[in-house]
């Protein structure tokens, strides 16, 4: 397992940091929100990301990808997290690409992977049915003719997807999002990112392998989401430390106060420890290591706690200005809550980690 | 030049042949070897193991051979450490000479000071202790007032040090002393080596909450110290003092990297024993959740330590990570003992005598001892100040 980045991964990171800083700063997310943008993301930006090859990081060369791996995609996700960029990286470049690669038939791969890599086709995983992450409890089912019935919620990028990948009780299924019997309702989320409730009423589907691939792909999603959350935590933290240096009260910079210094130093420690966990998880996934599952739960649990800390302390240390919509620090707090709940909150991952560790 | 693979194989073979089986068992605290003129060896194997390792210079693996050290590269030293861990070998020798003074003399000492002191540290012949804190100077260490006046060829030392760990068992003490009281507090401090044979040096053990007396206070009354025992320049001791503190913090921060980890009882095993288990899980879900939260932090910290080592190996300059080790490791170690006691329930409350196992009584004492981790060598609050200032650049 490698805990420091190689030259190639560092180059991806640097390119991605510059890309999101220039093309998708937080004002872009604010604009999508304030304009009630029907897509909730920028299609032109997504095509540029495809041109940079990021959509193909988990796709084999046969289908137009580079198979660069999870560590590489994690760097892009971390950079996206710094500017809270709203893109289908998680739903499509990670989950869609992974499930098609791992579970798809040769025909399905030929049909779907090239347009996915080109940035022309969006996928969404229809997984959750209850109010919290519970990947193994599904009441959605398919009949003998592969017609799906059930209701899925918190489907990330659900309303913009071209295809839905449905976790049903007897396997994974691929459904044309515009097929008869599919009803999608966009839900407006606190973080201004995309999610939907999707009803399936005898919707025609095709099988996409067994549920056994789901856990592998969820772990990939957890590790990469943890990378995104690490980016968001770091950015919220950097902005807060800068504010401690800029803001004056009682005639001095508020960063001179020990009550704030110590909490800032504690945030620094948590971010560094989280970075180690995230890098280890990504590296373990790339190497198919035996402890990859435990490391993914470790990374997500730490990323959850750290983004919670940095989001809340960020607002608190900014004081009154942190409560305003005009200031950007609040966007991090809002994103933190949603990211924490996605693919397992800390309680979920502590339970899973303990079980994997044999207690 | 030996390749790492060859070095590993040779090291393994040598350890298997030379480490006595009795030295491949869990080391109780009272069997730690710290050397010195007053050293007592409960088992003969302790001395055999020390002498064999010292002869190879492997009590100080990376120190130069000309002083009796092992002359190993950082990578070779890591391999030696890994092989010792794997075989469960005890550390043959520990102490402040090895962990703090030696590295400081290698950087700041004169050739004569190195020749005099390093070989005796490596062999375990001389035991050192640390004269830093004073009753009036804890976190504000630089305010120290133990006075050393240069009179011709000697310093005359008078003062009172405290938390001088194991001073009553030590032969020499490295001390911070005030040599100029008229200038700013950081600019009048010197670093002095003092032979404790002098009758004017009187250590007195202090009984602690754990019931043990590893710490002392040490009095200095008209102690004559040869001027040649000054390390570095007169009144420039603060720089050396801080450097030595870095070595000390690295050592305390190393708590998480447990030597002899293979003999340790993890909190989850203790909880299973006392709380019971259902389908392989700790029966109480709340205690289980607490332990998982602790273990996740401990695991992530262990990965951070590895990341720092990889960064160092790659030749990158020492990053900001080292500043957090002492703080994070000691807070984690305290939590670890809280988890052990939480899992043990009533069995974690024994002080001595019947009704408790050896491990249970040990954990009680170690739990109390662990509270010093975040005080000694600079409190957690001081560590957070350092991170805020040096890493985050927050203003004073």
Q: Does residue A205 share a domain with residue A159?
A: yes
Residue A135 — very low, low, confident or very high, per pLDDT cuts 50/70/90?
very high
| Chain A neighbors of B320, CB-CB under 8 A | 268, 272
ipTM of the complex: 0.96
* Known catalytic residue at B277: no
Tell whether domain B4-123 is in CATH 1.10.540.10. yes
Of A245, A255, A276, the CB nearest to B304: A276
- Of A161, A160, A132, A148, nearest in space to A199 by CA: A148
SS3 percent helix, strand, coil of chain A, rounded to 5, is: 55, 15, 30
- What single string gives the DSSP state of each residue in A111-144? HHHHHHHTT---EEEE---SSS--TT----EE-T
Q: Do B385 and A266 touch (CB under 8 A)?
A: no
Q: What pLDDT is recorded for position A124?
A: 98
Q: Does residue A143 share a domain with residue A181?
A: yes
Q: Does residue A184 share a domain with residue A81?
A: no
CB B120 within 8 A of CB B129: no
- Radius of gyration in angstroms for the set of CA atoms belonging to chain A, rounded to a whole number: 20
Q: Does residue A329 share a domain with residue A258?
A: yes
| Chain B neighbors of A10, CB-CB under 8 A | none
Of B277, B299, B388, the CB nearest to A265: B388
Residue A259 inside a domain? The answer is yes
- Of B165, B160, B161, nearest in space to B213 by CA: B165
Instruction: Convert the pLDDT of each residue in A256-271 to its tens digit.
Output: 999 999 999 999 999 9
State whether the Cα torsion B284-B286-B292-B294 is positive or negative: negative
Mark which of A191, A210, A229 sits at the end of a domain: A210
Task: Please identify which residue in the block is written with the tokens 């999870």.
Answer: A70
Q: How many CB pairs below 8 Å do chains A and B form together?
A: 124
- Name the CATH superfamily, with its identifier, for domain B242-391: Butyryl-CoA Dehydrogenase, subunit A, domain 3 (1.20.140.10)
pLDDT at A280 over 90: yes
Residue A102 inside a domain? The answer is no
| Chain B neighbors of A241, CB-CB under 8 A | 392-394
CB A280 within 8 A of CB A1: yes
Q: Do A262 and B388 touch (CB under 8 A)?
A: yes
Rama region for B376: left / alpha / beta (φ>0; ψ in -120 to 50; rest):
beta
Pairing relation of β-strands B230-231 and B189-195? Answer: antiparallel
Question: Domain range for residue A239?
Answer: 213-356
Task: Give A226 to chain B, closest Cα distance, Å.
Answer: 13
Single out the catalytic residue among B217, B248, B268, B342: B248
- Of A150, A93, A79, nearest in space to A123 by CA: A93
Q: Does residue A325 share a domain with residue A225?
A: yes
User: Does residue A246 belong to the interface with chain B, where contact is any CB pair within 8 Å?
Assistant: no
Total domains, chain A: 3
Residues (pLDDT < 50) of chain B are none
B148 Cβ contact partners less than 8 Å away, ≥ 6 residues apart: B155, B156, B157, B177, B178, B179, B190, B192, B225
Q: Does residue A342 share a domain with residue A227?
A: yes
CB B247 within 8 A of CB B103: yes
Q: Does residue A223 share a domain with residue A204?
A: no
Q: What are phi and psi of A198, to 5 degrees?
A: -125, 125
The rounded mean pLDDT for chain A is 97
Q: What pLDDT is recorded for position B15?
A: 97
Q: What pLDDT is recorded for position B256?
A: 54
A123 Cβ contact partners less than 8 Å away, ≥ 6 residues apart: A88, A91, A92, A95, A96, A97, A99, A100, A112, A116, A157, A161, A162, A163, A164, A165
- Of A256, A224, A198, A288, nearest in space to A91 by CA: A224
Nearest C-alpha in A relative to B306: A3
Could you tell me which residues of chain B have a Cβ less than 8 Å from any Cβ in chain A?
268-269, 271-272, 277, 280-282, 288-289, 291-293, 295-297, 299-301, 303-304, 306-307, 310-311, 314, 320-321, 324, 327-328, 381, 383-385, 387-388, 391-396
Q: Do B299 and A351 touch (CB under 8 A)?
A: no
Task: Please identify which residue in the block is written with the tokens 């003062």.
Answer: B159
Mark which of A101, A117, A133 sits at the end of a domain: A117
Q: What pLDDT is recorded for position B2?
A: 79
Give the burial class of A180: count Cβ atoms within 10 A of its Cβ; 0-12 exposed, 13-18 middle, 19 or more buried. exposed
CB B130 within 8 A of CB B164: yes
Q: Does residue A223 share a domain with residue A340?
A: yes
- Of B182, B246, B280, B284, nearest in space to B378 by CA: B246
Q: What pLDDT is recorded for position A117?
A: 98
Residue A280 inside a domain? The answer is yes
DSSP bridge pairs for A163:
A123, A176
Q: Does residue A205 share a domain with residue A83?
A: no
Give the burial class of A131: count Cβ atoms within 10 A of its Cβ; 0-12 exposed, 13-18 middle, 19 or more buried. exposed
Nearest C-alpha in A relative to B303: A276
Q: Where are the domains of chain B?
A: 4-123, 128-231, 242-391
How far, in Å, CA of B322 to CA of B253, rounded?
Answer: 9
| Chain B neighbors of A298, CB-CB under 8 A | 296, 299-300
- Fold match, B4-123 / B242-391: no
HSE on the CB side for A337, CA within 13 Å? 10
Q: Does residue A239 share a domain with residue A321?
A: yes
Q: What pLDDT is recorded for position B28?
A: 87
Q: What angle do CA B239, B241, B247 make, to 5 degrees?
A: 110
How far, in Å, CA of B325 to CA of B336, rounded?
Answer: 16
Residue A103 inside a domain? The answer is no
Q: What are phi and psi of A94, to 5 degrees?
A: -100, -65
- Exposure string for B206-231, b = 16+ CB within 10 A, e = fewer: eeeebeeebbbbbbbeebebeeebbb
B interface mutation test: which of A259, A353, A359 has the most B CBs within 10 A? A359
Continuous segment of H or E residues that includes residue A305: helix A292-318
CATH number of domain containing A28: 1.10.540.10
Domain range B128-231, CATH class:
mainly beta
CB B374 within 8 A of CB B334: yes
- Of A297, A305, A301, nearest in space to A281 by CA: A297
CB A196 within 8 A of CB A186: yes
């Amino acid at each position: 397992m490698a805990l420091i980045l190689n030259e190639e991964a560092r180059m991806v990171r640097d390119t991605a940091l510059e890309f999101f800083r220039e093309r998708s700063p937080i004002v872009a997310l604010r604009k999508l929100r304030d304009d009630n943008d029907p897509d909730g993301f920028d299609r032109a930006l997504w095509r540029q990301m495809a041109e940079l090859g990021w959509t193909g990081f988990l796709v084999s060369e046969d289908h137009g990808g580079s198979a660069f791996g999870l560590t590489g995609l994690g760097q892009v996700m971390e950079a996206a997290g710094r500017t809270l960029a709203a893109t289908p990286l998680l739903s499509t470049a990670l989950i869609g690409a992974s499930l098609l690669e791992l579970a798809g038939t040769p025909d399905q791969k030929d049909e779907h992977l090239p347009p996915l890599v080109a940035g022309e086709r969006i996928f969404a995983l229809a997984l959750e049915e209850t109010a919290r992450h519970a990947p193994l409890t599904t009441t959605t089912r398919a009949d003998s003719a592969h017609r799906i019935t059930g209701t899925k919620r918190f489907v990330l990028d659900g309303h913009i997807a071209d295809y839905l990948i449905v976790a049903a009780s007897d396997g994974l299924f691929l459904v044309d999002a515009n097929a008869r019997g599919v009803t999608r309702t966009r839900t407006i989320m606190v973080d201004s990112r995309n999610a939907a409730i999707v009803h399936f009423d005898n919707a025609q589907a095709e099988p996409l392998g067994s549920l056994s691939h789901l856990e592998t792909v969820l772990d990939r999603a957890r590790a990469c989401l943890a990378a995104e959350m690490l980016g968001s935590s770091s950015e919220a933290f950097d902005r807060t430390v800068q504010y401690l240096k800029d803001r004056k009260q009682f005639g001095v910079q508020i960063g001179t106060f020990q009550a704030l210094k110590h909490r800032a130093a504690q945030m620094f420690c948590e971010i560094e420890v989280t970075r180690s966990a995230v890098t280890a998880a990504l590296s373990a996934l790339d190497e198919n290591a035996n402890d990859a599952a435990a490391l993914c739960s470790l990374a997500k649990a730490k990323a959850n706690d750290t983004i919670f800390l940095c989001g809340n302390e960020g607002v608190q240390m900014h004081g009154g200005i942190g409560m305003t919509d005009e200031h950007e620090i609040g966007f991090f707090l809002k994103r933190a809550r949603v990211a924490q709940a996605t693919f397992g909150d800390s309680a979920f991952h502590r339970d899973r980690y303990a079980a994997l560790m044999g207690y | 030049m030996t390749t790492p693979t060859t070095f590993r194989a040779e090291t393994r073979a040598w350890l298997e042949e030379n480490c006595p089986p009795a030295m491949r068992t869990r080391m109780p605290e009272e069997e730690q070897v710290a050397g010195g003129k007053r050293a007592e060896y409960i088992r003969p194997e302790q001395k055999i193991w020390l002498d064999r390792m010292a002869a190879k210079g492997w009590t100080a693996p990376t120190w130069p051979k000309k002083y009796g050290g092992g002359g190993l590269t950082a990578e070779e030293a890591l391999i030696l450490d890994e092989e010792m861990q794997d075989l469960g070998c005890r550390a043959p020798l520990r102490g402040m000479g090895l962990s703090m003074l030696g590295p400081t003399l290698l950087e700041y000492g004169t050739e004569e000071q190195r020749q005099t002191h390093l070989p005796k540290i490596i062999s375990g012949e001389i035991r050192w202790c640390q004269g830093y804190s004073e009753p009036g100077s804890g976190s504000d260490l630089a305010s120290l007032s133990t006075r050393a006046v240069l009179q011709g060829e000697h310093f005359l030392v008078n003062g009172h040090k405290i938390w001088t760990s194991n001073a009553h068992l030590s032969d020499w003490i490295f001390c911070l002393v005030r040599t100029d009281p008229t200038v700013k507090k950081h600019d009048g401090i010197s670093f002095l080596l003092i032979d404790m044979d002098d009758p004017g040096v009187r250590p007195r053990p202090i009984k602690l909450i754990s019931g043990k007396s590893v710490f002392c206070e040490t009095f200095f009354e008209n102690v004559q110290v040869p001027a040649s025992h000054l390390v570095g320049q007169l009144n420039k001791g603060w720089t050396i003092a801080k450097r030595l503190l870095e070595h000390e913090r690295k050592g305390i921060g190393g708590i998480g990297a447990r030597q002899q980890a293979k003999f340790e009882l993890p909190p989850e095993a203790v909880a299973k024993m006392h709380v019971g288990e259902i389908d392989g899980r700790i029966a109480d879900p709340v205690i289980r959740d607490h332990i998982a939260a602790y273990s996740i932090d401990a695991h992530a910290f262990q990965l951070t330590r590895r990341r720092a080592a990889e960064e160092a190996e790659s030749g990158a300059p020492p990053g900001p990570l080292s500043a957090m080790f002492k703080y994070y490791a000691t807070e984690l170690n305290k939590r670890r003992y809280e988890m052990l006691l939480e899992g043990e329930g009533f069995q974690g409350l024994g002080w001595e005598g019947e009704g408790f196992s050896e491990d249970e009584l040990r954990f009680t004492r170690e739990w109390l001892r662990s509270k010093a981790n975040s005080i000694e060598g600079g409190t957690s609050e001081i560590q957070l100040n350092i991170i805020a200032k040096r890493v985050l650049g927050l203003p004073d």
